[in-house]
Structure 1
Amino acid sequence: MKVAIAGGAGYTGGELLRLLLQHPKTKVTQVLSRSQAGQPVCTIHQDLEGISTLEFKEDLEADYDALFLCMGHGRSGQFLEDNPIPDDKIVVDLSNEFRFASPDHQFTYGLPEWQKEKIKKSRKIANPGCFATGIQLALLPLAQAGWLTGEITATSITGSTGAGQRPSPTTHFSWRNNNLSIYKLGTHQHIPEVYQSVQDLQPDYDHPVIMVPVRGDFPRGIFSSIITDTSHSEAELVQLFKDYYADHPFTIVTSQDLDLKRVVNTNRAYLKVDKIKGKVHITSTLDNLLKGASGQAVQNLNLIAGWEETTGLILKPTIY
């Protein structure tokens, strides 16, 4: 399958390149970047020197089967207006423009653990947000069972790559290193994504979802702590999660204490379920650039193409 990547100079574009260049069923034929047009891809993604001879292009050419949009939020819609996409092409958008169901577009929300069968029948996918992926994975089994009965609090610490490649006062090394800070308290743009899936599975859920996003002093990964009310035993809760994720190869329910390093550089998410004094606590971990972005995008491509869901996505973690 011939693949084009628009916005290939950023973090998610680079991760997609690394995944798709070693994917046994894809061939990257175009990498678009207006700011880098004409330059070899390896001048930006230097680890690809000796691996890829591709050059950045400015304009999309017609010879592709699947298109990934890795541009900044708010730019995908304009790109699609400027470049009409034939109906037989696959489009996976990694921005937030099409994540909410609307009669104005035909994009399917691409969280396989929520609606895998719908993704398989789609040609246009809106890839979920990274925070939203980790929090939803912690809540989907509870929502499907109708076991969500109260307010949800989610505290999520994210790596600096989640803010994108362009430095800002709160992302450059000197400020972020050895530092922690909260931002967008209760107003983060990923909260509505959580409501969308939870209320699809449990329509009567109408309690607050309070999100506490924390800037971490590490490059990649998201470590989330989610807590809500429960009247069920820990054994019942653990079994519920294991049953729900039995057919989802990238989400693993574990009894071991979790840390971030086990998921970095992988497309896996790990969940640990505990009961604490009338509350259920779920620890959720994932790599924000892979399961939270580019890896999940390739996972969606595999489902649409009818390939094994794990094709090209078995990556080794960074342990040390």
Structure 2
Amino acid sequence: MKIRVGIIGGAGYTGGEMLRILLNHPNVEIAFVNSTSNAGNLVSDVHTDLIGDIDLRFTDSTDFDKLYKASPSGGGLEGAVLFLCVGHGDAKKFLEANPINEKIKIIDLSQDFRLAANSSLLGRSGGAFVYGLPELNREAIKTANNIANPGCFATSVQLGLLPLAAKGLINGEVHINATTGSTGAGQKLSSTSHFSWRNNNLSIYKAFDHQHLDEIGESLRQATGKKSPLGAELNFIPQRGAFPRGILASMYLDSDLSEEEAHELFETYYKSHPFTHVSKKNIDLKQVVNTNKALIHVEKHGNKLLIISMVDNLLKGASGQAVQNMNLMFGLEETAGLKLKASYF
């Protein structure tokens, strides 16, 4: 099966990672890479790690007829998908301004459609946007036409808490501390992404009020099977780290589980999910950077259960998970194009 792909907002970090994956995906043909700020420039002049791999130029065109060829028997492709790698708020504006053939599936990497209240787009049929966390919504993703890709912090935190939520074992406060690499701030330069400020530095931001808390809460409530509040307060302290990529999230809560019981619970929950792995040994960030893996480690300290969860914010936390969702939507092997090795040394 061949899937034709278009990328909107292809000049940023998530667009570059999307290209790096898709160029080596056995079932993908890249139709176009859109960037209004780089229209006419070679893709490899912006994403210089792709020199020798791609000869396409960025375009500001939105001619989606080039993306979808409806008839496989006539030499056309068998499917089409549009990845939206644009800023928060821009995805909805883009889709409202550019009606897209219903046969083209959409995977949005912004936060515009992640919450249930915002998951529908006026004029876009084919169902609401499905929240694209495979470890929670795999079956719904398989039949979806529109996917809202999860946030990077949200992915790491949710994977650390979903097995407990599914068993109704989150009833008190959860304390979460998570540190992200500088690429989590996007490519646009700001005072807190400057090398001279970020290097050898560490800072807290949006304490207790990060935008990913809403989607985390919705997913945990879904996992419990209840629409009512979780009965727990999520105390989330995000940090900016002095490294380019990756997220280390540590969380703890009161629990009656033993360490062995907790480990077994997590292993059972994730045994059918190819990218999420539970380790009895302590884990470190280099094990996930440049991969689509999520690693989980649990420890018991007195009556506290400590969960450590790690992902690459640009891959499992963004573009890699988006491709994982694409694979599920088109009935491909879930790991296709995503068997990536960590840069450990």
Q: 2:177 aligns with which of 136, 155, 179?
A: 155
Confirm or deny that 1:123 pairs with 2:139: no
| Structure 1 residue aligned with 2:82 | 67
Q: State how far apart, in whole Å, the 2-side matches of 1:306 and 1:63 are.
A: 23
**SS of 1:191 mapped into structure 2:** helix
Q: State how far apart, in whole Å, the 2-side matches of 1:278 and 1:68 are.
A: 44
Q: 1:196 aligns with which of 206, 209, 218?
A: 218
Query: AA paired with 2:130?
Result: T
For the 8 Å contact 1:225–1:283, the answer to whether it is kept is yes
Q: State how far apart, in whole Å, the 2-side matches of 1:142 and 1:35 are.
A: 45
For the 8 Å contact 1:2–1:63, the answer to whether it is kept is no
For residues 85-119 of structure 1, the C-alpha deviation after alignment (integer angstroms, 9 at most, x for no partner) is 12221100000000011363410000000010000
Q: 1:266 aligns with which of 283, 288, 291?
A: 291
Q: State how far apart, in whole Å, the 2-side matches of 1:27 and 1:298 are.
A: 13
| Structure 2 residue aligned with 1:166 | 188
CA RMSD in angstroms comes to 0.9
Aligned ranges 1:217-228 → 2 under 5 Å: 217-228=242-253
**SS of 2:291 mapped into structure 1:** coil
- State the TM-score, normalizing by the size of structure 2: 0.91
For the 8 Å contact 1:228–1:280, the answer to whether it is kept is yes
- The number of equivalent residue pairs is 320
Q: State how far apart, in whole Å, the 2-side matches of 1:140 and 1:207 are.
A: 13
| Structure 2 residue aligned with 1:137 | 159
For residues 181-205 of structure 1, the C-alpha deviation after alignment (integer angstroms, 9 at most, x for no partner) is 0000011000111100111122351
**CA positional deviation for 1:146:** 0.7
Confirm or deny that 1:185 pairs with 2:207: yes
| Structure 2 residue aligned with 1:83 | 98
Q: State how far apart, in whole Å, the 2-side matches of 1:29 and 1:118 are.
A: 27
| Structure 2 residue aligned with 1:250 | 275
Query: Runs (4+) of structure 1 moved beyond 4 Å?
Result: none
Confirm or deny that 1:23 pairs with 2:25: yes
For residues 173-224 of structure 1, the C-alpha deviation after alignment (integer angstroms, 9 at most, x for no partner) is 0000000000000110001111001111223512210111010000000001
Q: 2:261 aligns with which of 223, 232, 236?
A: 236
Contiguous gaps of at least 5 residues in structure 1: none
Q: State how far apart, in whole Å, the 1-side matches of 2:321 and 2:223 are.
A: 21
Confirm or deny that 1:306 pairs with 2:311: no
Aligned ranges 1:82-121 → 2 under 5 Å: 82-102=97-117, 104-105=120-121, 106-121=128-143
**CA positional deviation for 1:63:** 2.0
Q: 2:47 aligns with which of 30, 45, 67?
A: 45
Percent of residue pairs bearing the same amino acid type: 51
- State the TM-score, normalizing by the size of structure 1: 0.98
